[in-house]
Amino acid sequence: MVTERIAVFGRANADLTVRVPHRASQGRTAFGSPLVVTPGGKAFNQACAVARLGGRATLVANAGDDEWGRMLARTLTEFGVDSKDFRLRPGVPTGAAIIEVTPDGESYVTFARSPSTDPTPSDAARVRADVVVAQLDVAAEAVQAIPRPRLLIGNLIPSEGVDLAALDLYVVNEHEAAAVLGTPHADAAAAVDGLLDLGIPAVVVTAGSRGASYGQRSGTGAVPAPQVKSVDSSGAGDAFLAALALDLSRGRPLPDAVAAAVLVGSRAVQQRGSLLRN
């Protein structure tokens, strides 16, 4: 089975993770575990997961030429990701995600952005692959500068000016879908219908422990997730998307690819950290 190269375009950062018995409330401190610093970022996680699942992955992203940035570069080598388009920028800091993980395995993330490492149109022009996964929360002009691949998959809430209808496939969780649709809440199946109405050719909406829903011109469907004990959900969506992109690159139909991706996502929540390691 031929696997095309998958390029992932977006952000790479350090994850600063603390496990807490509960989240802090106003005026009160929550005491947590020792801080753990690991490599992360949506695009970074997805590229590493593609490689871990046996695919050929390229990461197009930037980080600072500092301790955290060099940690990211070493990890790409460890996972076998093509890092020729991963750039360390001198004199700027690497971004960081501050992650709180509660006992039920849910993760709460605050992103400390480093604007100087944000992807640019010139970064996008380096993307060379038949299958591209693009994080849409970057500047619209950067997304628009990606050379048109055979399959363009978008992820996350888009920045202003991004044309979702230009995608081949849009993948979001149900909370992101609700934000895009301007509703207080949208379950996955309803969100699929709403997003398809925006002119997007194909849509997948994930719903955590409830699995995922999908839709395309030929119809819609849903895949339940197996019941597992969640340890850390911080990288599950990235593992799901990596598995989905990899199967689609191999010519697998969308319903089958979603079913396989749900299993990978369920596997990911059973391990700590945002990187798929087994």
Percent of the chain at pLDDT exceeding 70: 99
User: What per-residue confidence (pLDDT) applies to 278?
Assistant: 79
Per-residue pLDDT, averaged over 66-75, amounts to: 98
Domains of the chain: 6-10+41-90+118-268 (3.40.1190.20)
Whose tokens are 């930037």? That residue is: 62
Per-residue pLDDT, averaged over 60-85, amounts to: 98
Statement: residue 129 has pLDDT above 60: yes
DSSP string, 43-104: HHHHHHHHHHTT--EEEEEEEESSHHHHHHHHHHHHHT-B-TTEEEETTSPPPEEEEEE-TT
User: What per-residue confidence (pLDDT) applies to 198?
Assistant: 96
Per-residue pLDDT, averaged over 167-192, amounts to: 94
Statement: residue 273 has pLDDT above 80: yes
What would the two tokens of residue 101 be?
Answer: 């993980």
Higher pLDDT residue, 278 or 33?
33
Q: What is the DSSP letter of 161?
A: T
Statement: residue 2 has pLDDT above 70: no
Per-residue pLDDT, averaged over 176-203, amounts to: 94
What does DSSP say about strands 131-135 and 6-9: parallel, antiparallel, or unpaired?
parallel
Least confident of 29-38, 111-120, 181-190: 181-190
SS3 215: strand
User: What per-residue confidence (pLDDT) applies to 3?
Assistant: 62
Instruction: Tell me the pLDDT band of 264, cut-offs 50, 70 and 90.
Output: very high
Per-residue pLDDT, averaged over 128-150, amounts to: 96
User: What per-residue confidence (pLDDT) applies to 81?
Assistant: 98
Taking the C-alpha atoms of residue 173 and residue 157, their distance in angstroms, rounded to an integer, is 10
User: What per-residue confidence (pLDDT) applies to 195?
Assistant: 97
